[in-house]
Structure 1
């Protein structure tokens, strides 16, 4: 199964560690520092067309998306329902 991040970009759901709201990252000093380091180290890929609303953390990458974290989480939930809870993807 794959999660659509917007603008035709997709990632395997089995790789997802966390889906987060970028606005909330800006409210936490630790989260801001994490995102700054991830960006400096080249671990951030921006799929948001310069308008990020959310991020998806995998084991190796942080993906920025123009789609809200709520909508992305809802999509993952729906994918699991459709596939009977099987995360193989």
Structure 2
């Protein structure tokens, strides 16, 4: 299963470690330091040209900066079970 992060970017759900609110990330000195080091080492990927960043998605390989809110990304990550309806022809019966 994959999560769409916005702007044609998808990541496997199993690689996502955390989805964090961008406003909260900027309030802590330790978070600012973490992001600064990640940017310097090339681990960040800004997936939008928009100035508004709403979330940071930390994966096993990279940190994505997204314009999509953490709540919306959470909804996208929930697997929705679909009821499968089998007709007689789909089961091989006629």
Query: What's the TM-score bracket when you normalise by the shorter of the two chains?
Result: 0.7 to 0.9
What's 1:86 paired with? Answer: none
Q: Relative contact order, CA 8 A, sep 6+: which one is greater? A: 1
Note the C-alpha offset of 1:19. 0.3
* Runs of 5+ unmatched residues, structure 2: 83-94
**Residues 1-89 of structure 1 correspond to what in structure 2 (within 5 A)?**
1-51=1-51, 52-77=53-78, 79=79, 81-82=80-81
Taking only aligned residues, the RMSD between alpha carbons, in angstroms, comes to 1.4
Calculate the TM-score normalised by the size of structure 2: 0.79
Unpaired runs of 5+ residues, structure 1, are 84-89
TM-superposed CA distance for 1:53, in Å, is 1.2
Q: Give the structure with the higher percent helix.
A: 1
| Over 3 Å off, 4+ runs | none
TM-score (norm 1): 0.83
> 1:50 Cα deviation (Å)?
3.6
**8 Å contact 1:15–1:59 — kept in the other structure?**
yes
The structure whose Rg is larger is: 2
For 2:42, what is the secondary structure of its paired residue? Answer: coil
Cα displacement (A) at 1:9 = 1.0
